[in-house]
Amino acid sequence: MNAAPETIARPPVIEMFDVAVATARAPDTAVISGVNWRVSLDDYWVIGGPTGSGKSDLLATAAGLQRPLSGAHRLFGSELPSLHETERLRERLRVGVVFEDGARPFPQLTVAENIALPLRYHRDWNDAMIRQRVGEMLDVTELSAFAGRAPSELARALVPRVGLARALALGPEALLLDNPLAGLDPRQERWWVDFIASLAAGHPSMKGRKMTIVVACDDLRPWTSQGRQFALLKENQFLPLGGRDGLERCNEPLLRDLIAAESP
């Protein structure tokens, strides 16, 4: 990977050294091999790949949710298995994950309860502090009017925002998003792209701290003007492309396909 000098100077968030990424469906099978990848603080990575290329598994491995089949993976400079459970949890919580397929909110909880769950579980806050943080998350994701509703009672386009608000509630330093625009109309797409851009630039709800962003997608068009680093997943390989200039120079046919992809 050809990283710019200033990228190397910034502290690492995610590092992978010759990692073979397992697939959740068949834990002994590598879906991507030989991944050498470094995500530094304040990076904005966009990873394109067709359906079934292993985007979700790569993000799960990057977040420390899935163990690599081989190779070394570090989160904020630490190898998770070597850490004590408390430290491992602390490192893991520095990364938020927004899943594909509606971001997987818990259907038995209301929107507000979904957002409050990680706060109630991990923070020794009183109810007023939790309510305040939940209210803040509801405001920024424009879900305040639906706080008491179950996720199944929301319009389909709003459901992933519950998962987004829940992932942001603990104030992570990095956010990994798996195909966040899948199934959204152009207006909703715009909202997501703008909101993620504001997180990368330093959102007030995150105390103005710039967030490290990694987006995996199967349609690169909305992200070409947003991402600062790009990569492709092709034939079980992770192919870093560099910055926007690298994206323009790249002659990879798959990249052309992903940029020309029709919105679902």
Partner 1 sequence: MDRVHELVAFLLIALGVTLTKFNVAPRVMRPLVRAQIYRAGVCLLPMIGFLGCALGLIIIGQTVSLLTRVGAHSFIGTLMVTVVIRELGPLLTTVVVLARVGAATVVELGTSRAQGEVEALEALGIDPVHYLVVPRMWGLAVSVFALTIYFVLVALLSGYLFAFLQDVPLSPAEYFHQLARALRWEDFALLMLKTAAFGIIIAVVSCYQGLAKPLRIEEVPIATTRAVVSSVVACVFVDAVFIVAYLLI
Contact window for partner 1 (CB under 8 A) among 47-55, 75-83, 120-128, 218-226: 120-128
Q: What is the DSSP code (8-state) at residue 17? A: E
Residues in contact with partner 1, total (CB under 8 A)?
Answer: 24
92 binds partner 1 per the rule CB under 8 A: yes
Site for partner 1 in 214-233 (CB under 8 A): none
For residue 157, the minimal CB distance to partner 1 (Å) is 18
Distance of CA 205 to the CA centre of its chain: 17
Write phi, then psi, for 3 (nearest 5 degrees). Answer: -95, 145
| Alpha-carbon span 164 to 141, nearest angstrom | 8
Quick check: 261 and 218 in contact, CB under 8 A? Answer: yes
**Chain position carrying tokens 């100077």:** 9
> How far is the C-alpha of 27 from the C-alpha of 184, rounded, in Å?
31
Choose between 48 and 163: whose C-beta lies nearer to partner 1. Answer: 163
Nearest CB to partner 1, comparing residues 117 and 157: 117
Strands 237-242 and 12-22: unpaired
Cβ atoms of residues 97 and 167 within 8 Å: yes
Minimum CB separation of residue 92 from partner 1 in Å reads 6
In the range 148-207, which residues lie near partner 1 by CB under 8 A?
A: 163, 166-167, 170
19 vs 34: CA distance, rounded Å: 5
Q: In this complex, which beta carbon is closest to partner 1, that of residue 93 or of residue 206?
A: 93
List binders of partner 1 among 17-36 (CB under 8 A).
24
Q: Minimum Å distance from CB 246 to partner 1? A: 30
Q: Are 79 and 73 in contact (CB under 8 A)?
A: yes
Q: Tell me: does residue 101 bind partner 1 (CB under 8 A).
A: yes
Residues that bind partner 1 (CB under 8 A): 24, 60, 63, 65, 89, 92-93, 96-97, 99, 101, 104-107, 117-118, 120-122, 163, 166-167, 170
